[in-house]
């Protein structure tokens, strides 16, 4: 296969990331694991990268216990001091950015630029969290009673469970763990079974920083196991909050289990994101955004562009430009800088891709380009496909469902109201965009009768959210918010405190009770 050998790259970076051929998948201040061995193969060519000894449910509970103990000490550390630890972690990430980025590529198949970009996202959230550590502010509220002061304050919450997906194996953990750490919480991370090595590398780095700072490394605990480990984490009453990223089906199970025990849930689930292209749009800009949104990470992003809603007057013109652009996409070894799209994560993803294309054809969809598995020598051993563009109708079941693969369904519209209705007429509500040169259309799209998604963009695509804004969506996307803005409040508990500094005991609402 053209491009660097995955085995050779792994041999170069493993020593620098403190990875070995055999790795323990649990950490609570010490490394452990007595569960089944997990063999990690790269989706690039099927090469075995390493083995990981997974943890059992009992060992997951052990990690929670260690995290709870670490939390009790960590919550007493002043927030700016907690921020200093996160700042130093961000500096360590800067030093290891290239190696960790290539490890992301080896495990997920995303191109090197995206792998390093994901590590940069970790660095950015560490910077954000460091500044935030001096701004965890509450409110002073006027009391109706004389000689009283009322205030709203925020305290550390407890142990935070983090369940992450394969497609962003390190960034989503950092979104949660960096904020949780400065908020005074300890975390237990259950990574995807498809990406255990990046998790181990990140926690090893955190372990080193914690020891240098004199903090308990169990602040960043790890439980790399199967579904049973995740279920154990969700069921454990010592875990105050579970942040789960994944499918809507998974999120529904997590949410129901947490609701049963009155635990908190932060859910970031499926997306079925659309771009509207209006007659006044800059088509050159639109094609570039659509291409990255639909093809980036081989369509394996929750913010991937899955539907394209084009005004009928420019439908033919835009689809011709877009299919021409698709045919120029270099698909192959993601370690090669010339590659724009790597493989799907595994055979299951390949089957889901093929099934969705077949279902769209059965509905009557016209495949404009792509939709096939690539089987040349250059793609041997991996799960490579040609990204598909399919004329479709929004109401079809296959369009309503999120397929985690590079399939773009295109449809036309006549009026803006019709386009917005199509955008909103899916169960998910994560990201959305419109390309228009009309200011009124732009304002309507981001206004109260516009997009119903958590993210609404104008003249940029559905992918590539900045960490400064809260990330998440509505409806079956789960309603959670991570990363920027005031997302930090999810990791803390709110307390209203009233202090009586008078010598009287006036009751609220002017109530008189006895003499």
Question: Which residues belong to the active site?
Answer: 268, 302
Report the C-alpha gap between 112 and 32 in whole angstroms. Answer: 31
Of 375, 454, 360, the C-alpha closest to 405 is 360
Residue 38 — left, alpha, or beta (φ > 0 → left; ψ -120 to 50 → alpha)?
beta
Is 432:454 a contact under the CB 8 Å cutoff?
Answer: no
> 145: Cβ–Cβ under 8 A, 6 or more apart, which residues?
500, 506, 507, 508
The DSSP string of 335-399 is TSTT-SB---SSHHHHHHHHHHHHHHHHHT-EEEE--SB--SGGGTTS--B--EEEE--TTSHHH
> 102: Cβ–Cβ under 8 A, 6 or more apart, which residues?
9, 13, 112, 115, 116, 335
- Other Cβ atoms less than 10 A from the Cβ of 486: the count is 9
* DSSP β-ladder status, 431-435 and 273-277: parallel
Report the C-alpha gap between 147 and 261 in whole angstroms. Answer: 40
At 222, give phi and psi (nearest 5°).
-135, 135
- Other Cβ atoms less than 10 A from the Cβ of 2: the count is 11
* DSSP β-ladder status, 264-268 and 366-369: unpaired
- Other Cβ atoms less than 10 A from the Cβ of 285: the count is 13
Report the C-alpha gap between 416 and 19 in whole angstroms. Answer: 53
Of 324, 326, 323, 345, the C-alpha closest to 334 is 345
Q: What are residue 413's DSSP bridge partners? A: 311
* DSSP β-ladder status, 428-429 and 26-27: unpaired
Please count the CA atoms within 13 angstroms of the CA of 129 that sit on its side-chain side.
34
In angstroms, how far is CA 225 from the centroid of its own chain? 19
State the DSSP H helix or E strand holding residue 259, giving kind and residue range, or none if neither: helix 248-260
User: Which tokens hold the place of 78?
Assistant: 């002043």
3-state secondary structure of 136: coil
At 438, give phi and psi (nearest 5°).
-100, 115
- Other Cβ atoms less than 10 A from the Cβ of 45: the count is 18
User: Which tokens hold the place of 247?
Assistant: 């499918």
């Amino acid at each position: 296969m053209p491009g660097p050998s995955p085995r050779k790259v792994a041999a170069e970076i493993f020593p620098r990331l403190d990875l070995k051929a055999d790795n323990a998948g649990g950490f609570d201040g010490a490394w452990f694991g007595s569960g089944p061995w997990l063999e990690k193969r790269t989706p690039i060519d099927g090469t075995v990268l390493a083995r990981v000894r997974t943890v059992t449910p009992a060992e997951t509970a052990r990690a929670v216990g260690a995290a709870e103990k670490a939390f009790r000490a960590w919550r007493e550390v002043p927030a700016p001091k907690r921020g200093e630890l996160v700042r130093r972690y961000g500096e360590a990430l800067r030093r290891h950015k290239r190696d960790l980025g290539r490890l992301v590529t080896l495990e997920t198949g995303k191109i090197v630029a995206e792998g390093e970009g994901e590590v940069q996202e970790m660095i950015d959230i560490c910077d954000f969290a460091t500044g935030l550590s001096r701004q965890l502010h509450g409110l002073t509220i006027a009391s109706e009673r004389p000689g009283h002061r009322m205030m709203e304050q925020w305290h550390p919450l407890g142990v935070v469970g983090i369940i992450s997906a394969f497609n962003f194996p390190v960034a989503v953990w950092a979104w949660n763990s960096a904020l949780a750490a400065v908020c005074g919480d300890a975390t237990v991370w259950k990574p995807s079974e498809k990406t255990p090595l990046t998790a181990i590398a990140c926690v090893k780095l955190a372990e080193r920083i914690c020891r240098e700072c004199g903090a308990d490394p169990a602040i960043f605990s790890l439980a790399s196991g199967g579904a049973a480990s995740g279920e154990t984490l969700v069921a454990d009453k010592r875990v105050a909050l579970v942040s789960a990223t994944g499918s809507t089906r998974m999120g529904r199970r997590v949410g129901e289990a947490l609701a049963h025990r009155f635990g908190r849930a932060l859910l970031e689930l499926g997306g079925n994101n659309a771009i509207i292209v209006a007659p006044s749009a800059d088509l050159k800009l639109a094609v570039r955004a659509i291409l990255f949104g639909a093809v980036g990470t081989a369509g394996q992003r929750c913010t991937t562009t899955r539907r394209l809603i084009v005004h009928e007057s420019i439908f033919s013109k835009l689809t011709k430009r877009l299919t021409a652009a698709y045919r120029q996409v270099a698909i192959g070894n993601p370690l090669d800088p010339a590659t724009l799209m790597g493989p799907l994560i595994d055979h299951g993803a390949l089957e889901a891709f093929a099934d969705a294309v077949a279902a769209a054809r059965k509905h009557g969809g016209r495949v404009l380009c792509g939709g096939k598995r690539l089987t040349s020598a250059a793609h041997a051993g991996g799960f490579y496909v040609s990204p598909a563009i399919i004329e479709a109708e929004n109401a079809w079941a296959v369009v309503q469902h999120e397929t985690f693969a590079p399939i773009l369904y295109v449809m036309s519209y006549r009026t803006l109201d019709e386009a917005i209705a199509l955008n909103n007429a899916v169960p998910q509500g994560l990201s959305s965009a419109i390309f228009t040169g009309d200011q009124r259309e732009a304002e309507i799209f981001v206004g109260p009768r516009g997009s119903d998604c958590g993210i609404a963009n104008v003249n940029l695509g559905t992918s590539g959210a900045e960490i400064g804004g809260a990330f998440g969506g509505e409806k079956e996307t789960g309603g959670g918010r991570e990363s920027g803005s005031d997302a930090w409040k999810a990791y803390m508990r709110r307390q209203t405190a009233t202090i009586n500094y008078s010598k009287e005991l006036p009751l609220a609402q002017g109530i008189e009770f006895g003499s």
